[in-house]
Amino acid sequence: MTIVVRPTSPADLPILAAWMVDLPLFQRYNLTVERAVTNFENGLARGDWLITADAEFSACGFAWAIPNGAFGRSPYLRLIGVRADLTRHGIGAALLTEVESMAAEKSNDLFLLVSDFNEAAQRFYLRQNYTQIGAIPNYVVPGVAELIFRKRL
């Protein structure tokens, strides 16, 4: 499978939002298509890093990072997602590699949060040489801890 990672365009936003709201992770956070599109639009307007992957389908994966989102100093990977029917094909890894390349141009670190119940994501980041360095209980929703991961670039 050929994976092309490119900057996200406004035309990608409804496509990304349409499939991402069906993912169990985003359902747990009650994400709607409208809110997802608005969030993406706001990120693009702020100059956040939004990248999209094309593989079997156009806009089948995305990553969103905030250049100084971790402590006002280091890049923070806010979200990453891959269409459910295309997971485990290297799309997430390709997106993460691109974000890490972008981050390395400005910092020695990349940070991200993973929900404590999202064990597949935790395993993914550990395979990508991230280290869990802490946890924030009840940060986004009650009863869920957000695990802090860091990678030295």
In a domain, 21, yes or no: yes
Mode of pairing for the β-strands spanning 4-7 and 49-54 = antiparallel
- 50: domain CATH number is 3.40.630.30
Residue 100 falls inside a structural domain: yes
Could you tell me what percentage of the chain is helix, strand and coil, using 3-state DSSP and rounding each to the nearest 5?
35, 35, 30
Query: Is residue 113 in a domain?
Result: no
Question: For residue 13, is it within any domain?
Answer: yes
- Which of 76, 17, 81 minimizes the C-alpha distance to 51? 81
Structure tokens at 3: 């994976």
Structural domain contains residue 46: yes
**What's the pLDDT tens digit per position in 115-132?**
999 999 999 999 999 999
Domain-located, residue 135: no
Using a 10 angstrom Cβ sphere, with 0-12 exposed, 13-18 middle and 19 or more buried, the burial of residue 75 is buried
Number of domains comprising the chain = 1
In angstroms, the CA 68 to CA 36 distance is: 21
The Cα 134–Cα 25 span in angstroms is 21
Summarize pLDDT for 24-42 with one digit per residue, the tens: 888 878 889 999 999 999 9
More confident residue, 106 or 27: 106
Is 121 inside any structural domain? no
pLDDT digits (tens, 9 = 90+) for 64-84: 999 999 999 999 999 999 999
Q: Which domain does 39 fall in, by range? A: 4-108
- Beta pairing class for 131-137 and 61-70: unpaired
